[in-house]
Structure 1
């Protein structure tokens, strides 16, 4: 049990915790708390629940995830990815159904962690992740058009295309004041960082826009006119549970668990790259599960690791789970003492913030990059994207995973019919006589979504210990976009450490995909050699130059 569940906080405290690091964590936690305030409210409102539920989720779940999680810097709370799911569950099962589904999802996540399934999430291909993330971003953007334009619509279709049809048919009813507020909010949120990065633009936008609306009594909808007062307390909520009907909630619960697990571990991986750390995936899943079991009893909604807030934590000096705990306490303080003014926030201001969030979520650069890659990756990307937007997120993920497996088998079959590409000579095979500053790693087999994480992890370990690294790829029949994505990340990390990277024996089809994926913008083409002995000669020359 100890090996499966070992919170990072315990390790941090055992290693010694300095006053200097506490001051950094304190500052980072306060900043992240301020960043999280408008997002927590906006995510809750967009999900169809009252604003305080977003705050409660950030406070309760955020604290639990930081104290019990497997990452040093993970920030937990409500995220944009859950908006579509939560809204759909509310429409179908009601608030009690959402609470029950979230608790069951938490139990699933705990089970995933106890069964050591954290590593299985590496089998989620990069095009699939980008496809459903971009799809969710478009859906979130679509849901905000009503408030962004100030439209007074009693009934809005839930489907994507009919929703846009309704918007277009009501363009004559646009509230120009609301539209201006939305645009101003977007501009402040995006460009305020040019003045300072210490205070988030979304927070500044909320303060300024709300003040102007109240001073000049502008005719726009606010949180108060839609939801009423925001409670300034946290109380225990017990749902009405009919145990004979629990099977009804299995599908939505599994959806929450899968998406929460994927997003939290993706966030942990991203933060690992930023701080040079290694998270404990199974511990993180168990902590996420406990948070989702506990939080609904206090009126919260599903929670997971939040990539943007986690990155903000790292950039502001947070390096231990204490920063995440401070973020939760900061939000609690704001809710208890300043919550009465939050009800005055205009709905169009929240829409502006969520439009910026949806843009940042869209991963359009990755989308465009994958569209330039192989036909297999493009197919997975587009199928997942359109199913997410037009049908259902759960269905999109299921079809995407099945399609990825089928296409992988097709690529393996195609690779098996091709002649072996072998130009590396067998000379100098005895690595033991080579300089200790030279690292060599040979990849055998496809560099694809199931193997990419393991290959990249080993490359990182070897590369950070070496001055020069040769990656032998003579036995790599193909590389997919997940492999390329991971390889580019690890090359950036080890090159930032001063390590020079060489490739040898890259097959023509693999080199073509690498060029499309812009890997050769990181590794100079002259450092890509057809044979190992040629790479070894250049690597030795590089070592001599470094020694001078």
Structure 2
């Protein structure tokens, strides 16, 4: 056992894990601040949410290397609750959200995430990359009395130039050395240049402090019991927000897990990750947090910076905590251009560029699903997009399978007629299937041969039963042949409500 543990530890690049975590910690700052404004809470509350969520999820995660924090998806859902009932109900809703996620994880319902088709994944990634891109545009604005306005003239050009410098460092540095994560190096270099420019050049670049509208400095998260009454009325208020947030959070977590699995060619544990998300939100509620889930952008930054284990996932929130407690002077002077550049590179790495070449090379219905999920992700939310994508994929699959059901007609020497059935007989194909037969014109004995067909559901059983009844009403005999075990069990279970029994089913000797 000691040898196994020693071998595992020897495979961990501790320097890369720590530096990757610190890179993510810096990248979390502007996002957490922005999400605070969306939810209507203070930036410090959002940052402390990132700390608690990140630490707990990292400790119990089923996907080492994945980053969890406060997120846009949860912020949007909870904004209405904060506006109508205040922070105390928010904290209570986050606790209930964590309980729901824990229940889903304990019941091992994560397996149903495997139902998400690949075109939905592609649409999600493309839509999410566009959402990340659009979210960065607000950082090109400046605070003024009464709101925020776009940067103009030379200010805009200078910021774009520094964004370009950041992206160039991230792109080219790995070709020279991988000693430190390129994103971290880019942030440090651009921050130093911005500080020198402000001190000796007299030009002030927009910083994290400018964006937040305040000096970011906080302390350790404190245990807190929400000051709400334990009543049915409170439960009625928070339940809808808790359920929607739980499902949105788990959808994003499961999809992020699958993306990281693909990037690292390893396999995470879905149900374990769901439990980790639940524990993270449960802890957040009791520490006065706004709730959160996994972050695909920061997770990709972590993986590309060399983070592969829980170490980097834990260092990120720990580093963020240290920054807001002791390094606020460093955080506040980081130029927004550096962080925008990092996120722009995430956008480039997240978008599935090969999908632009898919038109005409993959089934049309898959293209429709992918585009639909992309558009819905941009204009609505992730959970709605994924649910819509799964439904569209299922309908497209049912339609395709439904059109494949057919039958070859064979007239036998003894005067009987055999219908050699082909395809799946289920709710999507029964209408086409029933049109293949002619009870009035067929001979006295008709054989339905199921050797290359399969009855999939009760709709299929009822379709066969309806045909048998039509033939019997015409005084004709129907025989079901080569009925497979699965179809036989369906007929057997439904024998009390159909006219089909074993006497109508004949199996060849080898069966």
Tell me whether the two structures share a fold, i.e. TM-score over 0.5.
Answer: yes
Residue of structure 1 aligned with 2:159, choices 160, 178, 192:
178
* Alpha-carbon distance, 1:183 to partner: 2.3
Residue of structure 2 aligned with 1:412, choices 387, 393, 401:
401
Higher mean C-alpha displacement, 121-130 vs 242-251? 242-251
- The answer to whether the aligner puts 1:147 opposite 2:139 as a matched pair is yes
Residue of structure 2 aligned with 1:229, choices 204, 210, 215:
215
Distance 1:190 1:283 in 2: 35
* Alpha-carbon distance, 1:121 to partner: 0.6
- The answer to whether the aligner puts 1:257 opposite 2:235 as a matched pair is no
What are the Cα deviations for residues 504-541 of structure 1, in whole angstroms up to 9, with x where unaligned?
xxxxxxxxxxxxxxxxxxxxxxxxxxxxxxxxxxxxxx
Distance 2:110 2:247 in 1: 11
Query: Does the Cα contact within 8 Å between 2:44 and 2:217 map onto a contact in 1?
Result: yes
Query: Does the Cα contact within 8 Å between 2:251 and 2:382 map onto a contact in 1?
Result: no
- The answer to whether the aligner puts 1:60 opposite 2:52 as a matched pair is yes
SS at match of 1:221: coil
- The answer to whether the aligner puts 1:46 opposite 2:34 as a matched pair is yes
Taking structure 1 as reference, are residues 184 and 64 closer, same or farther at Cα in structure 2, changes over 3 Å only? same
Query: Does the Cα contact within 8 Å between 2:77 and 2:244 map onto a contact in 1?
Result: no
- The answer to whether the aligner puts 1:75 opposite 2:75 as a matched pair is no
Distance 2:101 2:309 in 1: 23
Query: Does the Cα contact within 8 Å between 1:57 and 1:77 map onto a contact in 2?
Result: no
What are the Cα deviations for residues 425-468 of structure 1, in whole angstroms up to 9, with x where unaligned?
xxxxxxxxxxxxxxxxxxx99xxxxxxxxxxxxxxxxxxxxxxx
- The answer to whether the aligner puts 1:109 opposite 2:97 as a matched pair is no
* Alpha-carbon distance, 1:120 to partner: 0.5
Q: Which has the larger radius of gyration?
A: 2
Distance 2:91 2:75 in 1: 10
Taking structure 1 as reference, are residues 131 and 323 closer, same or farther at Cα in structure 2, changes over 3 Å only? closer
Aligned match of 1:199: 180
How many residues get paired? Answer: 401
Distance 1:366 1:340 in 2: 43
Aligned match of 2:378: 389
* Alpha-carbon distance, 1:391 to partner: 3.8
Taking structure 1 as reference, are residues 338 and 319 closer, same or farther at Cα in structure 2, changes over 3 Å only? same
- The answer to whether the aligner puts 1:211 opposite 2:192 as a matched pair is yes
Aligned match of 2:388: 399
Give runs of aligned pairs for residues 86-105 of structure 1, distance below 5 A. Answer: 86-87=75-76, 89-90=78-79, 93-94=82-83, 96=87, 99-105=91-97
* Alpha-carbon distance, 1:266 to partner: 4.0
* Alpha-carbon distance, 1:313 to partner: 6.5
Q: Which runs of 5+ in 1 are unaligned?
A: 1-12, 157-165, 420-443, 446-474, 478-548
Query: Does the Cα contact within 8 Å between 2:166 and 2:342 map onto a contact in 1?
Result: yes
Distance 2:309 2:345 in 1: 28
Aligned match of 1:287: 276
Residue of structure 1 aligned with 2:128, choices 116, 127, 136:
136
TM-score, length of structure 2 as denominator length: 0.65
- The answer to whether the aligner puts 1:220 opposite 2:170 as a matched pair is no
Query: Does the Cα contact within 8 Å between 2:163 and 2:341 map onto a contact in 1?
Result: yes
Query: Does the Cα contact within 8 Å between 2:181 and 2:306 map onto a contact in 1?
Result: no
* Alpha-carbon distance, 1:88 to partner: 6.1
What are the Cα deviations for residues 98-153 of structure 1, in whole angstroms up to 9, with x where unaligned?
65554333222111112210101111122222223322221221222232366869
Q: Which runs of 5+ in 2 are unaligned?
A: 409-422, 425-451, 455-511
Distance 2:307 2:381 in 1: 37
Distance 1:281 1:61 in 2: 17
What are the Cα deviations for residues 210-252 of structure 1, in whole angstroms up to 9, with x where unaligned?
2222222223322222322222422225555476355455555
TM-score, length of structure 1 as denominator length: 0.61
* Alpha-carbon distance, 1:301 to partner: 4.8
Distance 2:296 2:185 in 1: 21
* Alpha-carbon distance, 1:174 to partner: 6.1
Taking structure 1 as reference, are residues 182 and 155 closer, same or farther at Cα in structure 2, changes over 3 Å only? same
Distance 1:252 1:367 in 2: 37
